[in-house]
Amino acid sequence: MRPDRDFFFRLADAARAETLPRFRSGLSVVNKEKAGFDPVTEGDQAAEIAIRKLIEAEFPTHGILGEEHENIRMDSDHLWVIDPIDGTRAFISGVPVWGTLIGFQEKGRSVMGLMEQPFTGERYYADGERSWYSGPEGERQNAVRDCGSLENAILFTTSPHLFKDWEVERFEAVQDKVKLFRYGVDCYAYCLLAAGHIDLVIETVLKPYDVGALIPIIEQAGGVITTWDGGRPEAGGSIIAAGSRAVHAEAMEMLKRG
């Protein structure tokens, strides 16, 4: 049995109770990497614990894959994929484009998902058939837009500095062709795409929990999300999402490794 909207929203409520009071609060930050900067806060850890507690109580046989705590029951046909704060750099900088990501998979396929931005009061939710927005603008069904071609597209990526080696040249080729490009909004970009505000998101080095909740939000809004070579995106890696198949195909052709 699939979880319902009310349960997803209960999970989001529990996470928000841990993240929102800590946002713009001057909280302490721990760096998870010796050779770089991969921040984690007590908000990340507490929010994931709160989400896991509710899942364990309601669905004790389901698996859980999360960023901050140990993965459990990974062989289950039903798997929750959690990123309690996607965009921790934005979170610690006071920029409200981070989000809590809660995804649900059946037999390896992402079928339901939620992204909440607690500060703006917005939720993007995929119920298994349709993609929805709720927030200050009310509630409505998400639908991607078709900008026609790559030269008319608005492109987002978290940071161009994440691309390495041959990826840099390929990404820049796409970036040079689009109408407008913007950086730095993490999971929020994918939701803007699902809602029809932008046309293309290109990323690399994503983890499964970075994208698991976002896949159904985009697909059930009519969009396309794959790896750069056209494969399923559940495992993360190099990801491309688009509002139309034509723009997706045009960008993917330019991203091919030469």
One-letter amino acid of 247: V
> For residue 1, what are its two tokens?
């049995």
* Residues in contact with 101: Cβ distance below 8 Å, sequence separation at least 6, in sequence order: 81, 82, 83, 84, 86, 113, 114, 115, 187, 209, 210, 212, 213, 214
Cα dihedral 173/175/177/181 (nearest 10): 180
Report the SS3 class of residue 44.
helix
Q: Tokens 């161009």 — which residue?
A: 160
67 appears as a binding residue in the annotation: yes
* Residues in contact with 94: Cβ distance below 8 Å, sequence separation at least 6, in sequence order: 23, 24
3-state secondary structure 148-213: CCHHHCEEEECCHHHCCCHHHHHHHHHHHHCCEEEECCCHHHHHHHHCCCCCEEEEEEECHHHHCC
Q: Are 225 and 189 in contact (CB under 8 A)?
A: no
210 appears as a binding residue in the annotation: yes
Spatial distance between the Cα atoms of 19 and 137, rounded to a whole number of angstroms: 23
Task: List C-alpha distances in Å: 257 to 7, 64, 114, 167.
Answer: 42, 34, 33, 8
4 appears as a binding residue in the annotation: no
217 appears as a binding residue in the annotation: no
**Residues marked as binding for Mg(2+)?**
67, 83, 85-86, 210
**Residues marked as binding?**
67, 83, 85-86, 210
